[in-house]
Amino acid sequence: MPTGGLPRERDGAGRRSAAPAGAVKLVVAELAGVGVLLGIIEIALGATAVHDPWWTIVLWPAAAWIYLLAGIAAWRRRPYNRIGPLLIAAGFVLLASGLVGDEPAIEAIALIVATLPYALVVHLLHAFPSGRLQGRLSVLTVAAGYAVCLLLQVPQYLFGPETALQVADRPDLADAALRLQWTAGSAVMVVTAVILARRVRDADPSERRALGGLYLYGILAVLLVPLSSQVARAWTDEVSVWLGVAQLGIVAGVAVAFLAAMVRGGFARSARIEELAAWLAGDMRAGELRDVLAEALGDPTVELLYWAPDRGRHLDVDGRPVALPDAPTRAVVDVSHGDRKVGAIVHDRALAGDEGLVRAAGRAVALAFDNERLMADLRASREALRASRARIVAAADDERRRIARDLHDGLQARLLLLAVHANGVRTDAQASAQVRARARELEAGLDEAITELRELAQGVVPAALTERGLAAALEDLLDRVPIPSRLEVGGVTRTALRGAAESTAYFVVSEAVANAVKHAGARELDVAVRLSDGWLRVEVRDDGAGGARLGDGAGLRSMADRVEALGGEVAIASEPGGGTCVAARIPALARHGVDLLDRATGPADR
Amino acid sequence: MRVVVAEDQALLREGLVLVLERDGFEVVGTAGDGPDLVRKARAHKPDAVVADIRMPPTQTDEGLRAALEIRQTHPQIAILLLSQHVQRRLAQELLEQAGAVGGTGYLLKQRIVDGETFCSDLRRICRGASVLDPEVVATMLGRARRDDPIERLTPRRREVLALMAEGWTNAAIARRLTLTEKAVLKHVAHVYQELGLTTHPDEHRRVRAVIQYLGR
């Protein structure tokens, strides 16, 4: 299964999804560092330039840090959710708007973004909980908010009191802009309050619990800000520091409310489902479904079971059959695609809580689920196939050894005994010359038969292989080959390796050597056998004509089939005129439930 | 001559006993597996042990191991091992293990058919000679080698070399090849020289030297 970790941006389609958790951590750390640094710089600047009480200098950085904190926490917990980045952006904007200093550049920045924090707060409130704006009215309202804070700010610093950006001294224009800003801004706030109130009204009880507090505070906040300005203006003509502090406090409170909503686990159902949908539409990678669901449901113990209809049971992700859990703490929710059951989500009853949420999540990912189900089913079939092939090879190997043994123990012994009797007649002084002559023929004939039988048995399974192991058997094989050869055997002790793996290795070498002698006209052979890391590696090199391919000879092909059936690999490197190298690698340990070592045919059976 | 026979195959065991007794050997004990062989040999202290290499319990080389064990405590007991199929490495190991004592043989099972030759080989082994099956010698001689002095030997000398490896005395070689013993001696000396072997007084050591040479 692919591991996560590296960020991936969308390709060509042009969409960008939020970065997955791995990359986020790095970016978050960097942002946090930058934020803290800027805040400190701001405080330092303020200390030199401002004559108000000392604590006013830290107000803006403090508020900004609250937003950064909330944003970082949100982004880490829900990487697919845009609330995090928005909160962080608001934090940086607050920092910018709180800049004080004598430098004209610094003053300019602060003037331009003076009211931008409010626009961000409005955006945040509209986008909660999923991080995306829903509905045209929301989008328009938020856009209007940005316009009010950015565009209507312009006349105020162009024509207002003397500042770095002043173009002309026209207090009348500045005032008109200010009043327009106040009116438009209030309208935005009121519409926002109405929208939030409607959402609270339309939410179902569990959502209302989670969102209610935040929305309520949000509504109050957006109404109080313009209201407090009006009230203060009615009271006094000056803009007091306390008014600014109060409004800043209200704004900072929004971040605190977001933090509180999150800590209480309050990212509501729609947010989680939307995050799932975002993952499906964007970064979806095979094998990640369980992790993404665990994140979305807030339950790290989530398990996915896939339904195999032809088997009538559930499979796990590796294709192995599993039973439904019946522990009281585990709950099971079925997942269907259309009207077809595709699997089940097993979750901790306490953690993921609300069955409706789990069901909704299941519906959202039903298609991905079905895909993973097909993969699991495929893996199960493949495993079953491998296991059966390995069993066939092991069984064939057992058969061979049995046949060789029967030939040797049974038939050859009888023939020997007959020959001994024939010899007895031949050497019997009392028999006639004729009889003795016939007995000699018999004896000779039997001797030949015995030799043939021996060679037949040797071809089925070489005696040395059974008696002394692979190294000795290969030595004997190469001794009888008409061209010089070198044999290197490493790590293969008799006890470490027996059974089907050993015979297969022997026959691979035997076949490769036969080909080298018969077809390639080789003049030299190099055979190397090594047992390491649980793999038996075999290499046969010759300096013959080359040009061999795996499909060419039936013998080599069937050897390759056996090797592959045991879970190994065969490769041939053969350039025309450049010799041939047949290399095979066979697992030496038990695989697929088939013991490749000497198993049931132990000493007692032989 | 007293013999202990070790063979787990009943039919074959009978055949062996038959051949040996026909030729005048006294079979004082029979064994059906490795440990049993060691016990019987130690109990009866025969002149020789004739054993199948492949026996229970492991059905691998129990016979060989039992023989080596016997040799440790009773080096004077001659040992003849019988095998389904002869292996070069085993021949070499056997000769190594025999050390200076000699009295070791390694033959194919089917050699028991020719009772006369078989028993005479056994007697030689009891007298301290080493005997190797012609087939294992032929294989060792026949091994393809890169640029080898053996290639340079005349066919006659190669025959002599083969018989030397099988453990024949000079006199026996002379009879077999219808040569005079003097001629055989000359051939033998030449072979030694050609292969760079040091001369050995007795046949057993000669076998060992030749087999060592052939096995490298």
- Structural domains of chain B, with CATH: 2-132 (3.40.50.2300), 137-215 (1.10.10.10)
* Overall average pLDDT of the B171-196 stretch: 85
Of A414, A423, A606, the CB nearest to B59: A606
Q: What letter would DSSP give residue B147?
A: S
Lowest-pLDDT choice from A132-146, A260-274, A564-578:
A260-274
Task: State the nearest Cα–Cα gap between B117 and chain A, in angstroms.
Answer: 11
Spatial CA neighbour of B61 closest among B34, B32, B88 = B34
Using an 8 Å CB-CB cutoff, list chain B residues near A446. 113
Using an 8 Å CB-CB cutoff, list chain A residues near B108. 454
| pLDDT computed for residue A352 by the predictor | 57
| pLDDT computed for residue B144 by the predictor | 67
Task: State the nearest Cα–Cα gap between B13 and chain A, in angstroms.
Answer: 9
Average pLDDT along chain B? 85
Q: What letter would DSSP give residue A409?
A: I
* Interchain proximity A468–B61, CB inside 8 Å: yes
Task: State the nearest Cα–Cα gap between A468 and chain B, in angstroms.
Answer: 6
Q: What is the pLDDT of residues A241-271, one digit of tens each?
A: 677 778 888 888 888 888 777 666 555 555 6
For residue A452, give the chain B residue with the closest CA.
Answer: B110
Of A408, A409, A447, the CB nearest to B113: A447
Lowest-pLDDT choice from A74-78, A499-503, A533-537, A566-570:
A74-78
Using an 8 Å CB-CB cutoff, list chain B residues near A409. 9
Question: What pLDDT band is residue A61 in, cutting at 50, 70 and 90?
Answer: confident
> Which range has highest mean pLDDT (A126-130, A441-445, A470-474, A574-578)?
A441-445
Looking at the predicted structure, is the pLDDT value of residue A10 above 50?
no
Tokens representing A212 are: 């209610």
| pLDDT computed for residue A435 by the predictor | 93
Q: What angle do CA A229, A42, A48 make, to 5 degrees?
A: 95
What is the CB neighbour count within 10 angstroms for residue A239?
A: 11
Lowest-pLDDT choice from A242-256, A434-448, B101-115:
A242-256
* Overall average pLDDT of the A34-45 stretch: 80
| pLDDT computed for residue A529 by the predictor | 93
Largest CA distance in chain A: 152
Looking at the predicted structure, is the pLDDT value of residue A78 above 90?
no
| pLDDT computed for residue A255 by the predictor | 86
Task: State the nearest Cα–Cα gap between B182 and chain A, in angstroms.
Answer: 33
Tokens representing A119 are: 């626009």
Using an 8 Å CB-CB cutoff, list chain A residues near B114. 423, 443
Tokens representing A79 are: 């990487």
Tokens representing A64 are: 């900004």
Q: Which CATH number describes the domain made up of A469-605? A: 3.30.565.10
* Interchain proximity A457–B84, CB inside 8 Å: yes
Give residues with Cβ within 8 angstroms of A487, minimum separation 6: A474, A475, A478, A527, A528, A529
Query: What's the CA gap between B19 and B82, in Å, rounded?
Result: 14
Looking at the predicted structure, is the pLDDT value of residue A138 above 60?
yes
| pLDDT computed for residue B58 by the predictor | 83
Looking at the predicted structure, is the pLDDT value of residue A501 above 60?
yes
Query: What's the CA gap between A601 and A579, in Å, rounded?
Result: 40
* Interchain proximity A413–B89, CB inside 8 Å: no
Q: What percent of chain A is modeled with pLDDT above 70?
A: 82
Query: What's the CA gap between A42 and A63, in Å, rounded?
Result: 13
Using an 8 Å CB-CB cutoff, list chain B residues near A443. 113-114
The type of residue at A445 is G
| pLDDT computed for residue B66 by the predictor | 92
* Interchain proximity A494–B60, CB inside 8 Å: yes
* Interchain proximity A420–B112, CB inside 8 Å: yes
* Interchain proximity A417–B140, CB inside 8 Å: no
For residue A606, give the chain B residue with the closest CA.
Answer: B59
- In this structure, what are the phi and psi dihedrals at residue A390, rounded to the nearest 5 degrees? -60, -40
Tokens representing B84 are: 């389904």
Q: What is the pLDDT of residues A161-192, one digit of tens each?
A: 777 777 778 788 888 888 888 889 888 988 98
pLDDT: is A14 or A426 the higher one?
Answer: A426
Beta-carbon contacts below 8 Å between A and B: 105
Spatial CA neighbour of A268 closest among A354, A337, A351, A183 = A354
Which chain A residues have any C-beta within 8 angstroms of a chain B C-beta? 408-409, 412-414, 416-417, 419-420, 422-424, 427, 443, 446-447, 450-451, 454, 457-458, 462-464, 466-468, 472, 475-476, 479-485, 494, 524, 603, 606
Lowest-pLDDT choice from A43-52, A447-456, A521-530, B129-138:
A43-52
Cβ proximity of A401 and A601 under 8 Å: yes
Residue pointed to by tokens 């040009």: A547
Using an 8 Å CB-CB cutoff, list chain B residues near A454. 84-85, 108, 110
Of B83, B108, B144, the CB nearest to A481: B144
Residue A129, preceding peptide bond in cis (omega within 30° of 0): yes
Using an 8 Å CB-CB cutoff, list chain B residues near A424. 18, 22, 115
Of A408, A417, A484, the CB nearest to B145: A484
| pLDDT computed for residue A499 by the predictor | 75
* Interchain proximity A420–B61, CB inside 8 Å: no
* Interchain proximity B144–A485, CB inside 8 Å: yes
> Which range has highest mean pLDDT (A243-252, B94-103, B113-122)?
B113-122
Q: What percent of chain A is modeled with pLDDT above 90?
A: 11
| pLDDT computed for residue A408 by the predictor | 81
Question: What pLDDT band is residue A602 in, cutting at 50, 70 and 90?
Answer: very low
| pLDDT computed for residue A606 by the predictor | 32
Looking at the predicted structure, is the pLDDT value of residue A591 above 50?
no
Cα torsion through B171, B177, B180, B185, rounded to 10 = -60
Spatial CA neighbour of A182 closest among A232, A220, A135 = A232
* Overall average pLDDT of the A29-48 stretch: 78
Decide the pairing of beta strands A330-337 and A340-348.
Answer: antiparallel
Residue pointed to by tokens 């992790």: A291
Using an 8 Å CB-CB cutoff, list chain B residues near A453. none
Average pLDDT along chain A? 79
Task: State the nearest Cα–Cα gap between B183 and chain A, in angstroms.
Answer: 31
| pLDDT computed for residue A15 by the predictor | 35
Query: What's the CA gap between A531 and A553, in Å, rounded?
Result: 27
Question: What pLDDT band is residue A600 in, cutting at 50, 70 and 90?
Answer: very low
Given CA atoms A154, A160, A161, A163 in this order, what sign does their dihedral have?
A: positive
The type of residue at B135 is E
Query: What's the CA gap between A370 and A389, in Å, rounded?
Result: 29
Using an 8 Å CB-CB cutoff, list chain B residues near A472. 87, 89-90
Question: What pLDDT band is residue A81 in, cutting at 50, 70 and 90?
Answer: confident
Of B85, B112, B113, the CB nearest to A463: B85
* Interchain proximity A446–B56, CB inside 8 Å: no
Using an 8 Å CB-CB cutoff, list chain A residues near B110. 416, 419, 447, 450-451, 454
Helix (H, G, I), strand (E, B) or coil at A591: strand
| pLDDT computed for residue A18 by the predictor | 44
ipTM: 0.84
* Overall average pLDDT of the A514-539 stretch: 87
| pLDDT computed for residue A307 by the predictor | 85
Domain boundaries, given as residue ranges, for chain A: 21-270, 297-379, 383-460, 469-605
Task: State the nearest Cα–Cα gap between A405 and chain B, in angstroms.
Answer: 10
Question: What pLDDT band is residue A362 in, cutting at 50, 70 and 90?
Answer: confident
Cβ proximity of A145 and A118 under 8 Å: yes
Given CA atoms B192, B194, B195, B196 in this order, what sign does their dihedral have?
A: positive
Task: State the nearest Cα–Cα gap between B79 and chain A, in angstroms.
Answer: 19
- Angstrom distances, CA of residue B206 to CA of A276, B191, B199: 86, 12, 8
| pLDDT computed for residue A23 by the predictor | 66
* Interchain proximity B115–A485, CB inside 8 Å: no
Q: What is the pLDDT of residues A363-417, one digit of tens each?
A: 878 888 888 778 777 888 888 888 888 888 888 888 888 888 888 888 888 999 9
Spatial CA neighbour of A188 closest among A154, A157, A151 = A151
Decide the pairing of beta strands A340-348 and A303-308.
Answer: antiparallel
* Interchain proximity A467–B116, CB inside 8 Å: no
Give residues with Cβ within 8 angstroms of A333, minimum separation 6: A344, A345, A347, A355, A358, A359, A362
